[in-house]
Amino acid sequence: MSNLAKALNSARVRGWLYQGLFLACALAVAWYLVSNTLTNLSTRGVATGFGFLEREAGFEIGESLVSYSASDTYLKALAVGLLNTLAVSAAGVVLATVLGVLIGVARLSSNWMVSRFATLYVETIRNVPLLLQLVVWYTIMNRLPSPREALEVVPHVFLSNRGMKFPVLAEHAGHGWVLLALVAGIAAAIAAVRYGRRRREATGRPFPTLPLAIAAVLLPPVAAFVATGAPLAFDVPELTGFNFEGGGSVTPEFTALLVGLSVYTAGFIAEIVRSGILAVPHGQTEAALALGLKPAQILRLVILPQALRVIVPPLTSQYLNLTKNSSLAVAIGYPDLVSVSNTSANQTGQVVEAVAMMMAVYLIISLCISGFMNWYNRKVALVTR
Amino acid sequence: MKTSLRSLAAAATLSVSAIALSALTMAGTAQAGATFDGVKQKGYVQCGVNLGLYGFSAPDDKGHWAGLDVDMCRAVAAAMFGDSEKVKYTPLSAQQRLPALQSGEIDLLARNTTRTLTRDTANGLNFGPTNYYDGQGFMVSAKLGLKSAKQLNGATVCVLPGTTTEQNVSDYFRANKMNFKPVVIEKNEELNKAFFAGRCDALTSDASQLAAIRAAEAQNPNDYVILPELISKEPLSPAVRQGDEEWTNLVTWAFYVMVQAEEKGLTSENVDNALTSPDPDVKRLLGVTAGNGKALNVDEKWAYNIVKQVGNYGESYERNVGAGSKLKMARGQNALYTDGGLMYAPPLK
């Protein structure tokens, strides 16, 4: 008895006990919620389970990165939606970053006009709800002329309220080799950059990194292109019936969503970039100037590496926001994961499964993004010696 | 065990029919149901209608409800109370409508609701006769010069997600070996705006809704046409709760009165003169020859009141969705059977 009392009074045992109790409660609540839902669904005669994924979807999807038709399964339809979400998110992250960095640097510019415009941009864009902005962008896209009166911006590139149509290279066996050469070229360029940096750090002598890297990326694909017989035929869009046929296209829904997400997120990224740069003490710049570095070198070699430490963590959450905000696509008709899941849930009546899948997928995407950004953050973190 | 259960069921059926028979033989003292009595006691019909669908149920600028479905409510009130204004309206969304009826919040649901097997059974409802035969259709710009939905190969189609609209349109194009690109937008207004801005070649929805959208939102309604093909069956019908046959009967026959009146040429204008008609059918309908009112447990003037205050089906149609309205929809399937339509009233005797 006294042994038991002693054990109960030990901090270690108590710690385990309370944590065990908490875990048991959490599991019990989760189990209750799941079993209660399942029981209620079955008493109401509602089908449960993921069997519907194998059934024919029976509805079309407006745009798809892979071939899809109404006779494919729900699983394929959801995969198409997921790919669309990933496509718009990835493009949005790149575009928002570029735009955000530009605006952020512009806000610090000594040019009055430039810095005021950047301030105006940030304050306006950040303070108007994203949904409204998306609707505005979509309305602008729909105000473009009809396909029959499409604007021909440059020859064979058409802009209409059905989106942008442009020529693409007609498929040819040689293209695989060109792509392979491009990948090899990029690998060579990365190697050149690394070698250049190591040599500079070891000897202090500069190395012509940039021209070499450009040559490494460009030359192999061009060589492969010529070697495989230069197949330069284009698939050109042409007006037939209701719309253009052939060529590549970007839909108004995709454009509106991409532009809306990028412009909105760029406003936040600009502020993050500005705060990151301001966080580097001015003494660093002066010291670099005293060493005789050029302004571009100061930004690249002194300011940015230190600013990135401040920038990366909040930037990660902006990327996550952008990805999750892409689900607003349903409001302007872009067939993203949520849109396709909603239709699937509607047709099968299996709302719980559809929502659970959506949640799991967004969770996985977000965890991947934050995992990558954490890795990058550790890489740019200040190395203390 | 099985046989004993069956015999038990048979016995139960027998006793129920015995009660029903005795009720019939004691004509006039038929047991009134809970809804029928409840409505009679409170003095008005609580009618569930659309939040605002022009032509079916929408309040006008004075807040006065009007439409084909509203006329259904008014007809029932006229039959029960002799006054078509004894109705209170409950505007309901698509999600709210069935629970509102199931829970007893409303007595009658007249809200462009499609009659389906599930709703008629598992959802615990009973449907009256279809008061509008609808179907999913396509609306296109008149400039395209299309005559048939079969010419829509390669078109971009604006679709409202929700019920089975997306699947219907996919099925139709697949069955006819045609391709299309859907644009699916969740918000009604955004979808309609996109269509009128020319984002899509066609807009698909129930034909009656297409007409309502065209009347309310197109800059010039004549620039748009609704193609003749209907690709699904949507029989819009009034619904009541199960378990009160007396109430179901009244709703059912109140609608048939309107159809029968049109067939007999009775209108709200001439029904007073028709009271002296020698036609035995008209005499029975208008209560000059008694019997129908007693069977339904209402005043013998019930049908006269419907025709006088609400009008016959044709009048209601033309006023709300036909030539006399902004929708300008042809009678089509909703014409009397004598004109090639589906409107057919069983004998009122």
Q: For residue A138, which residues of chain B lie inside 8 Å, CB to CB?
A: 190, 194
Q: How many CB atoms lie within 10 A of CB A249?
A: 17
The pLDDT, as a whole number, for residue B1 is 39
Q: Is the pLDDT of residue A8 over 70?
A: yes
Higher pLDDT, A382 or A4: A4
Asked whether the beta carbons of residue A331 and residue B185 sit closer than 8 angstroms, the reply is yes
Nearest Cα of chain A lies from the Cα of B95 at a distance, in angstroms, of 13
Higher pLDDT, A270 or A353: A270
Q: For residue A245, which residues of chain B lie inside 8 Å, CB to CB?
A: 154
DSSP track, A248-292: EEE-HHHHHHHHHHHHHHHHHHHHHHHHHHHTS-HHHHHHHHHHT
pLDDT per residue over A317-350, tens digit each?
999 999 999 999 988 989 999 999 988 887 777 7
Torsion of CA A65, A69, A75, A77, to 10 degrees: 50
Residue A271: C-alpha distances to residues A101, A116, A121, A133, A274 (Å) = 9, 14, 11, 19, 5
Q: Is the pLDDT of residue B287 over 60?
A: yes
The residue extents of the domains of chain A are 2-46, 74-170+233-380, 171-232
Q: Is the pLDDT of residue B31 over 60?
A: no
DSSP A383: -
Task: Determine the residue of chain B that is closest to A140 in CA distance.
Answer: B197
State the SS3 of B84-137: CCCEEEEEECHHHHHHHHHCCCCCEECCCCECCHHHHCCCCEEECCCCEEECEE
Higher pLDDT, A13 or B247: B247
Query: A301 and A293 in contact (C-beta within 8 Å)?
Result: yes
How far is A377 from A366, CA to CA, in rounded Å?
Answer: 16
DSSP track, B184-205: E-SSHHHHHHHHHTTS-SEEEE
Task: Determine the residue of chain A that is closest to B152 in CA distance.
Answer: A242
Asked whether the beta carbons of residue B156 and residue A143 sit closer than 8 angstroms, the reply is no
Among A272, A62, A22, A261, residue whose Cα is nearest residue B183: A62
The answer to whether B182 contacts chain A (CB < 8 Å) is yes
Phi and psi angles of residue A115, each rounded to the nearest 5 degrees, phi first: -70, -35
Q: Is the pLDDT of residue A206 over 50?
A: yes
Query: A104 and A125 in contact (C-beta within 8 Å)?
Result: no
Q: Is the pLDDT of residue B185 over 60?
A: yes
The answer to whether B176 contacts chain A (CB < 8 Å) is no
Among B307, B305, B296, residue whose Cα is nearest residue B260: B307
How far is A142 from B198, CA to CA, in rounded Å?
Answer: 7
Taking each helix axis from N to C end, the angle separating B207-217 and B188-196, rounded to the nearest 10 degrees, works out to 70
Q: Which of A58, A252, A333 sits opposite B170 (nearest CB)?
A: A58
Q: Is the pLDDT of residue A15 over 70?
A: yes
Residues 221-250 of B with CB under 8 A from A: none
Q: Which of A118-122, A359-363, B49-53, B269-273 has the lowest mean pLDDT?
A: B49-53
pLDDT per residue over B65-98, tens digit each?
999 999 999 999 999 999 999 999 999 887 688 8
Mutate to test the interface with A, among B136, B152, B185 (most CBs of A within 10 A): B185
Task: Determine the residue of chain A that is closest to B188 in CA distance.
Answer: A331
pLDDT per residue over A68-83, tens digit each?
988 899 999 999 999 9
Nearest Cα of chain B lies from the Cα of A239 at a distance, in angstroms, of 12
The answer to whether A146 contacts chain B (CB < 8 Å) is yes
- Where does the pLDDT of residue A231 fall: very low under 50, low under 70, confident under 90, or very high at 90 and above? low
CA A385 to chain centre: 35
Burial A202-227 (b: 16+ CB within 10 A, else e): eeeeeeebeebbeebbeebbeebbee
Which amino acid does the sequence have at B56? Answer: F
Among A369, A259, A362, residue whose Cα is nearest residue A317: A369
Q: Which of A8-12, B172-176, B279-283 has the lowest mean pLDDT?
A: A8-12
How far is A282 from A263, CA to CA, in rounded Å?
Answer: 30
Q: How many CB pairs under 8 A join A and B?
A: 85
Q: Is the pLDDT of residue B18 over 60?
A: no
Query: B150 and B176 in contact (C-beta within 8 Å)?
Result: yes
Task: Determine the residue of chain A that is closest to B164 in CA distance.
Answer: A347
Phi and psi angles of residue A143, each rounded to the nearest 5 degrees, phi first: -85, -5
Residues 24-63 of A with CB under 8 A from B: 45, 58-63
The answer to whether B121 contacts chain A (CB < 8 Å) is no
pLDDT per residue over B42-58, tens digit each?
999 999 999 888 899 99
Nearest Cα of chain A lies from the Cα of B151 at a distance, in angstroms, of 10
How far is B62 from B42, CA to CA, in rounded Å?
Answer: 26
Query: B247 and B33 in contact (C-beta within 8 Å)?
Result: yes
Mean per-residue pLDDT of chain A = 87
The pLDDT, as a whole number, for residue B12 is 43
The mean per-residue pLDDT over the stretch B113-139 comes to 89
Query: A253 and A162 in contact (C-beta within 8 Å)?
Result: no
pLDDT per residue over B299-330, tens digit each?
999 999 999 999 999 999 999 999 999 888 88
Q: Which of B170, B190, B199 sits opposite A59 (nearest CB)?
A: B170
Q: Is the pLDDT of residue A360 over 60?
A: yes
Q: Which domains are assigned to chain B?
A: 34-133+236-336 (3.40.190.10), 136-232 (3.40.190.10)
Topology (CATH level 3) of domain A74-170+233-380: MetI-like fold (1.10.3720)
Mutate to test the interface with B, among A72, A162, A242 (most CBs of B within 10 A): A242
Instruction: Read off the tokens for B67.
Output: 């439409």
Sheet holding B87-92, edge to edge: B87-92, B45-50, B108-109, B239-241, B125-127
Asked whether the beta carbons of residue A143 and residue B197 sit closer than 8 angstroms, the reply is yes
The answer to whether B171 contacts chain A (CB < 8 Å) is yes
How far is B97 from B104, CA to CA, in rounded Å?
Answer: 11
- Where does the pLDDT of residue B162 fall: very low under 50, low under 70, confident under 90, or very high at 90 and above? low
Q: Which of A23-27, A102-106, A289-293, B18-22 has the lowest mean pLDDT?
A: B18-22
The mean per-residue pLDDT over the stretch B210-228 comes to 89
3-state secondary structure of B62: coil
Instruction: Read off the tokens for A158.
Output: 């058409």
How far is B339 from B343, CA to CA, in rounded Å?
Answer: 9
pLDDT per residue over A244-273, tens digit each?
777 788 899 999 999 999 999 999 999 999
Among A261, A310, A13, A248, residue whose Cα is nearest residue A131: A261
Asked whether the beta carbons of residue B190 and residue A138 sit closer than 8 angstroms, the reply is yes
The answer to whether A250 contacts chain B (CB < 8 Å) is no
Instruction: Read off the tokens for B294.
Output: 């007693």
Asked whether the beta carbons of residue B194 and residue A138 sit closer than 8 angstroms, the reply is yes
Taking each helix axis from N to C end, the angle separating B245-263 and B313-320, rounded to the nearest 10 degrees, works out to 80
Q: Is the pLDDT of residue A54 over 90?
A: no
